[in-house]
Chains A and B, each alone.
Chain A
């Protein structure tokens, strides 16, 4: 089988045992990799109703198709599990070196269940599997752990690890790779921590057999040429090579796409210079000391930053991405770039998702402003909007997991419920804090946030962020949206299972990912097959939630996210998105039940590869083995 090792590792941490399974070829072709292949395994390996943090819960790390090949940007690996935030399906992906290293270690995926009695790490060393003591690593920050393991094991490893946030089983804990790349969302780091698993370390020399390297090289060449002068990708590639996603920040604040003040603010609530202070060109001029990027990427969109504030003196932090800038910037009315970089750095060091972290702090600021929490309850911190000292002090509480930092581990909605107050200020989709492109500015995203099986994500399919540039009469029209919405599932499902960086959706020329997949595996897909693939992938994740007993009514989004009540000022004044109509159109286009979001058997038959769902969903009908 081209492109795969053909081996999947199943680990049980309770008794330190493991099995190596063959990856069925038909599964490879049907589900390819990433969260889609992960969904197939998790459905099989995890019994329904298993709590996300129970020892029996399963955590998967699944290579994308291009991991381990020479395809540009092909390093993205998917983490799959159940989210502790809402007990729904969860997937989160990560660039960096771990995907290619996992492949080189001889495996296409690893699924981990059980709970180690003591902190341990898993060492996947060229086909060998070792359970190692991690007591010297427990409690330590990610850069220290990464350096220590490199010193102990050599330079040719990749470390995929949790920070102290994951050890505390935080619902916003990330899994970190290369010290600053994060599979951040949905609390997957907390799931790893619940297993007493500090890290998975991979190394190896396994080379997957490539179907046709010439195809990959040709695709790579086209990717580079796409950025040439006069080509469609010229400016966007230039932007990513220089200022990365941070270029967008000030623009999004100005346009009211980026949220302010826990989604209740308008651009006029924050001085304009704050927006520019956290934007790429201004940040680079002040903080940049170097460039960085994922292995095997021709763009290298990251930058190394220095930052200084009070007792913090960083000379090797990373430039926050757009999402982090929004969450730790405008959401807090924070215009201090040093403090933003430091908070972002603390998230990487302690292993927290920057989006959920910033949103949670923003929720807490609103609660404090409204008197829901007193200063005393916040450990004496005068937690006022935009105050850099207060922001830093609260970050330190969170990272140290002390005082108010203890309930904050549960993120905004979890903390509100644990303390019995403040839930009215939460802005989430099923408890997951929302990313930094707002639904009122981009109504198409409301459907994605609310009804994707992995709620609250901007990198899941639908009509997408660029749809926000349409005139008002188009973008706020809620008739007949289903067709485009369903068609739009493809690009994100596809980049995820390909293992190509999400930015590939606009940084790579059309067709490049297909050519890469063909070069790696020999699998060629017609447009119809690709469409089916995206529907299959979506359905597999959705089916996981249905089996848990969730139905359409259980997929909820907080009112403020779609303008209920509408804003009373600013460019988005008066806008309420018809989220239920968008949902009706979407499910209607799929041919699913509008009330329950259940799918008919004919739909499954049409997409193929969903027969494994029949015993659970169509038990009275013929069940294949």
Chain B
């Protein structure tokens, strides 16, 4: 299935491609992100992952949410309060 991933993550995953990714059916947000990271030959340390959160189709999502074809993800830098 295809999902769309966009990023706003500061220095983390800087330069990663935004757009359509082909991922296995029924994969989770975490697996989709990992697939994107792998495709871009990048790495994401656990320590860095803690800085991130996700919107699934514009709603706050969780890493273990199951995705469906056409879903849109935003991977974002966590809001700490400015």
* Chain A residues within 8 Å of B79, by CB: 248, 251-252, 255, 257, 437, 465-466, 468-469
Query: Which residues of B, 40-82, contact A by the 8 Å Cβ criterion?
Result: 45, 47-48, 51, 53, 55, 58-60, 62, 74, 76-82
Query: Which residues of B, 1-28, contact A by the 8 Å Cβ criterion?
Result: 8, 10-12
* Chain A residues within 8 Å of B82, by CB: 244-246, 248, 321-323
A254:B76 contact, CB within 8 angstroms = yes
Chain B nearest Cβ from A619, distance in angstroms:
41
Q: Please tell me which stretch of A42-50, A67-75, A233-241 contacts chain B, meaning at least 4 of its Cβ atoms lie within 8 angstroms of it.
A: A233-241
Query: Which residues of A, 247-269, contact B by the 8 Å Cβ criterion?
Result: 247-248, 250-252, 254-257, 267
| Alpha-carbon distance between A248 and B82 when the two chains are bound, in angstroms | 7
Q: Which of B48, B53, B80 has the most CB of A within 10 A?
A: B80
Query: Which residues of A, 319-373, contact B by the 8 Å Cβ criterion?
Result: 321-323
Chain B nearest Cβ from A165, distance in angstroms:
23
| Alpha-carbon distance between A437 and B78 when the two chains are bound, in angstroms | 13
Complex A-B: 26 CB contacts under 8 Å? A230-B45, A234-B47, A235-B12, A235-B48, A238-B10, A239-B10, A244-B82, A246-B82, A247-B10, A248-B79, A250-B8, A251-B77, A254-B55, A254-B74, A255-B79, A256-B58, A257-B79, A267-B58, A465-B80, A466-B79, A466-B80, A466-B81, A469-B78, A472-B60, A506-B81, A571-B55
A235:B11 contact, CB within 8 angstroms = yes
| Alpha-carbon distance between A472 and B58 when the two chains are bound, in angstroms | 14
* Chain B residues within 8 Å of A230, by CB: 45, 47
Label chain B's interface by main secondary structure: loop
Question: Interface size for chain B: under 10, 10 to 19, 20 to 34, or 35 or more residues?
Answer: 20 to 34
A458 at the interface (CB under 8 A from B): yes
Chain B nearest Cβ from A168, distance in angstroms:
29
Chain A nearest Cβ from B82, distance in angstroms:
3
A547 at the interface (CB under 8 A from B): no
Query: Which residues of A, 24-67, contact B by the 8 Å Cβ criterion?
Result: none
* Chain B residues within 8 Å of A245, by CB: 82
Given known pairs A235-B48, A254-B74, A255-B55, the reply for A465 and B81 (CB within 8 Å) is: yes
* Chain A residues within 8 Å of B58, by CB: 254, 256, 267, 570-571
What sequence of 0s and 1s flags, for each residue 506-541 of chain A, a beta carbon within 8 Å of any chain B beta carbon? 100000000000000000000000000000000000
Chain B nearest Cβ from A257, distance in angstroms:
6
Interface residues of A (CB under 8 A from B): 230, 232, 234-236, 238-239, 244-248, 250-252, 254-257, 267, 321-323, 437, 458-459, 464-466, 468-469, 471-472, 506, 570-571
* Chain B residues within 8 Å of A255, by CB: 55, 60, 76, 79
- Chain B residue at minimal CB-CB distance from A502: B81
* Chain A residues within 8 Å of B78, by CB: 466, 469
| Alpha-carbon distance between A254 and B82 when the two chains are bound, in angstroms | 16
| Alpha-carbon distance between A459 and B82 when the two chains are bound, in angstroms | 9
Chain A nearest Cβ from B61, distance in angstroms:
9
Q: List 6 tightest A-B contacts by C-beta distance, closest first.
A: A245-B82, A322-B82, A465-B81, A571-B59, A251-B76, A248-B82
| Alpha-carbon distance between A180 and B6 when the two chains are bound, in angstroms | 35
Chain A nearest Cβ from B47, distance in angstroms:
7
A232:B81 contact, CB within 8 angstroms = no
Count contacts between A and B, CB distance < 8 Å: 73
Interface residues of B (CB under 8 A from A): 8, 10-12, 45, 47-48, 51, 53, 55, 58-60, 62, 74, 76-82
Chain B nearest Cβ from A483, distance in angstroms:
21
* Chain A residues within 8 Å of B62, by CB: 471
A235:B76 contact, CB within 8 angstroms = no
- Chain A residue at minimal CB-CB distance from B45: A230
Given known pairs A235-B51, A267-B58, A571-B59, the reply for A458 and B81 (CB within 8 Å) is: yes
Chain A nearest Cβ from B74, distance in angstroms:
6
* Chain B residues within 8 Å of A468, by CB: 79
Chain A nearest Cβ from B57, distance in angstroms:
9
| Alpha-carbon distance between A458 and B81 when the two chains are bound, in angstroms | 8
A236:B80 contact, CB within 8 angstroms = yes
Within the complex, which residue of A239, A464, A571 is in contact with B81, where a contact is CB–CB below 8 Å? A464
* Chain B residues within 8 Å of A252, by CB: 79
* Chain A residues within 8 Å of B53, by CB: 469
Chain B nearest Cβ from A579, distance in angstroms:
20
- Chain A residue at minimal CB-CB distance from B81: A465
* Chain A residues within 8 Å of B11, by CB: 235, 238
| Alpha-carbon distance between A396 and B2 when the two chains are bound, in angstroms | 50
Q: Which of A248, A252, A459 has the most CB of B within 10 A?
A: A248
Chain A nearest Cβ from B80, distance in angstroms:
5
A571:B10 contact, CB within 8 angstroms = no
* Chain A residues within 8 Å of B51, by CB: 235-236
| Alpha-carbon distance between A355 and B55 when the two chains are bound, in angstroms | 27
Chain A nearest Cβ from B49, distance in angstroms:
11
Chain B nearest Cβ from A603, distance in angstroms:
29
